[in-house]
Structure 1
Amino acid sequence: MTPIITRTFLLLIPTLLASLAGCTPRTIPPDGKLHVVCTTSLIADAVQRVGGDRVTVECLMGPGVDPHRYNASAGDIQKLTAARIVFHHGLHLEGKMGDVLEQERSGQKSVVITSRLTDKQLRASDGGDGPHDPHVWFDPTLWADCLPLVVEALKDADPEHQKEYDTAAKQYRDELLAVDRELEKLAHTLPAERRKLVTSHDAFGYFGARYGFEVHGLQGVSTASEPSTKTVSELAEFLAKNKIAAIFGETSVPTKGLLAVMDATEQRYGHKVRLIGGDLALYSDALGEPGSPGENYLGMIRHNMTTIVTALKDPK
């Protein structure tokens, strides 16, 4: 979408919302299911786990879609307007959807699932000058702390099934805490000096803090920023100096920048680095396709840790 079209579309948003606001009543439909919309696949997965067959979940951003660069379509506006509840991430993750998500819609609840995380829990991004790093799901304990807002919203909209929502949320929280323990054990099979992770963008800060990895991203916390020549040079030096065996692509980010880092590392320092991509690429800002290891959150985070540890264990 060109800048001119984007600006024109944003100017039309209030008109679209006003015209659509009365089109769809936000009562529970005859099938008894709540109609909810989630911006990202990660949120949709969590809401589906808590809501089960009592909710109909629509996700605006599908597998492999980068939320940092996503622009809302007219169809998205219609889906948002018709929903009983809208769940979005906040912390500027959906950076280009801010105007859309901030619109108030009568009879609808809008939930920012990270809004109760404290400054102590959140990490600064871009050297502390920008907003908080939004990638909290890379720490399963923080992702578990986002669940209460999901539960409360579903219970408020559908009080007849409060017990079911509470039960499902507790079960999912237990699974998140269990996978956290599993990942911690796996991380510690890798010597501390090899726990150095280089990825396409700075999405893995919470992962690094939780499991003892030194993390470097070619781009900042948002993929909307472009890597500088200086950053490429610094990463090349870091890889060679620390004899790091592999760098990691992400399913939602092009690998062009990482290829430049690999080339610079070999040309300047004679150090060859493997790019872990394709089917082994890490899931960062979106889940994977159905049937893939990253089709849900638990599979995604297990895939990431297993892939990272396996690649960094081998110095060749």
Structure 2
Amino acid sequence: MKKTLLYFSALCAAFFSQTATAAPKSYPYKVVTTVGMITDIVHNVAGDKAVVDGLIGEGIDPHLYKPTRKDLIALKGADIIFYNGLMLEGKMTDVLVKLASRKPIFAVTEGIEEQEGYVLSDESQHYDPHVWMDVQGWIAATAVVAESLSEYDPKNAAYYEKNAAAYIQQLRKLDAYASEVLATIPEQQRYLVTAHDAFNYLGRAYGIEVKGIQGLSTESEAGVRDIELLVDFLVANQIPAVFVETSVSDKNVRALIEGAEAKGHKLEIGGSLFSDAMGTTGTYEGTYIGMIDHNATTIANALGGQAPAQGLNGKLTPSD
């Protein structure tokens, strides 16, 4: 898997060298992105110089997503494309490789995989693509977007750099908030159990042990024995809550609750977390900052910590 990614990155780099002179023919130019978290970065950095079209919206799992005919038309019509990389968009790889000979395509995780020890992987050496769960990782991605747009449209480089700096300032505030509220969780309860392994970067960054029922990709299946072992862990450690994800079925999480109940331990659903997709477009949770604010606030309060109900900026939608 790692070799595949490195090959793809090298292939795109080789193709892009042939189109390095590409530049906007008019404004706003068209940017196409894959997941919403990237769409949000590009909106903030590109400003009014570009129209941004995100392909994978709220509640949709990018691990299983196959590009539609409409997506293919959008990708072919794009002036520039941004994707996550680290094999998140595995089913789009062939399309991106073909397009890389004709237009600039950038992975926002470019360079991150070269930082020794930063990129996580599972026992099978599959990359963990969920870098956005660590705000510092998404700060690095924002810098990549600004640099890439400046390379594509050099006459507006100062504009992109200014926008990126303003956005990164907000992200640093978000990072500090997540660190602060998650640190209030009692040490013996700092266990985050969710549907799949999307939160390992969050766990490493903010000091929480993470356990996913499924693996890094939702294509993996959880066996009965996996559920049983996790139930035993939850009961033994008296963990108060587990979490569902907005883009993943809650079937396995419900199985944990039923298994814990059978052993005399009441396990609550601590809330619904945004993992591979943000909230509804047009809402605060439909932004990257709102997504992470929601997750950090929800996790802290459900596991015995303290966080303001409306989050960092007082904008979170009240829970039912």
TM range (shorter): 0.7 to 0.9
Aligned partner of 2:265 among 252, 258, 271: 271
Q: Which residue of 2 aligns with 1:28?
A: 24
Read off the aligned partner of 2:266 and give its amino acid letter: K
Q: Which residue of 1 aligns with 2:53?
A: 58
**1 CA distance for matches of 2:283 and 2:241?**
22
CA contact 1:192–1:212 (8 Å) conserved in 2: no
Aligned partner of 2:91 among 87, 92, 96: 96
Read off the aligned partner of 2:178 and give its amino acid letter: L
Post-superposition Cα deviations, 1:134-173, rounded to whole Å, max 9, x if no partner, equal 1011110111111222112211222221111000111111
Structure 1 position 124 matched with structure 2 position 121: yes
5+ long unaligned stretches in structure 2: 1-21, 306-320
Read off the aligned partner of 2:304 and give its amino acid letter: K
Post-superposition Cα deviations, 1:12-56, rounded to whole Å, max 9, x if no partner, equal xxxxxxxxxxxxxx86355x1121100111100011110111110
TM-score normalised over the length of structure 1: 0.86
Counterparts of 1:274-289 in structure 2 under 5 Å?
A: 274-276=268-270, 280-289=271-280
CA positional deviation for 1:106: 4.6
Q: Which residue of 1 aligns with 2:210?
A: 215
Post-superposition Cα deviations, 1:40-99, rounded to whole Å, max 9, x if no partner, equal 111000111101111100011011111000001111111111111110011111121121
Read off the aligned partner of 2:264 and give its amino acid letter: G
Read off the aligned partner of 2:164 and give its amino acid letter: A
Post-superposition Cα deviations, 1:272-296, rounded to whole Å, max 9, x if no partner, equal 10123xxx41000011103444210
5+ long unaligned stretches in structure 1: 1-25
Q: Which residue of 2 aligns with 1:296?
A: 287
Secondary structure of the equivalent of 2:302? helix
Runs of 4+ in 1 over 6 A off after TM superposition: none
**2 CA distance for matches of 1:264 and 1:116?**
43
Aligned partner of 1:138 among 133, 136, 141: 133
Secondary structure of the equivalent of 1:275? strand
Secondary structure of the equivalent of 2:118? coil
Q: CA RMSD in A?
A: 1.5
Structure 1 position 313 matched with structure 2 position 304: yes
Q: Which residue of 2 aligns with 1:15?
A: none
CA contact 1:85–1:153 (8 Å) conserved in 2: no
CA contact 1:116–1:146 (8 Å) conserved in 2: no
CA contact 1:109–1:153 (8 Å) conserved in 2: no
**1 CA distance for matches of 2:248 and 2:107?**
24
Counterparts of 1:53-92 in structure 2 under 5 Å?
A: 53-92=48-87
Identity of aligned residues (%): 38
Read off the aligned partner of 1:294 and give its amino acid letter: E
CA positional deviation for 1:257: 0.9
CA contact 2:23–2:153 (8 Å) conserved in 1: no
TM-score normalised over the length of structure 2: 0.85
CA contact 2:34–2:54 (8 Å) conserved in 1: yes
Structure 1 position 159 matched with structure 2 position 154: yes
Post-superposition Cα deviations, 1:236-277, rounded to whole Å, max 9, x if no partner, equal 00110010111000000010111111111111x21110123x
Post-superposition Cα deviations, 1:106-158, rounded to whole Å, max 9, x if no partner, equal 54101011121024211122x2x232211011110111111222112211222
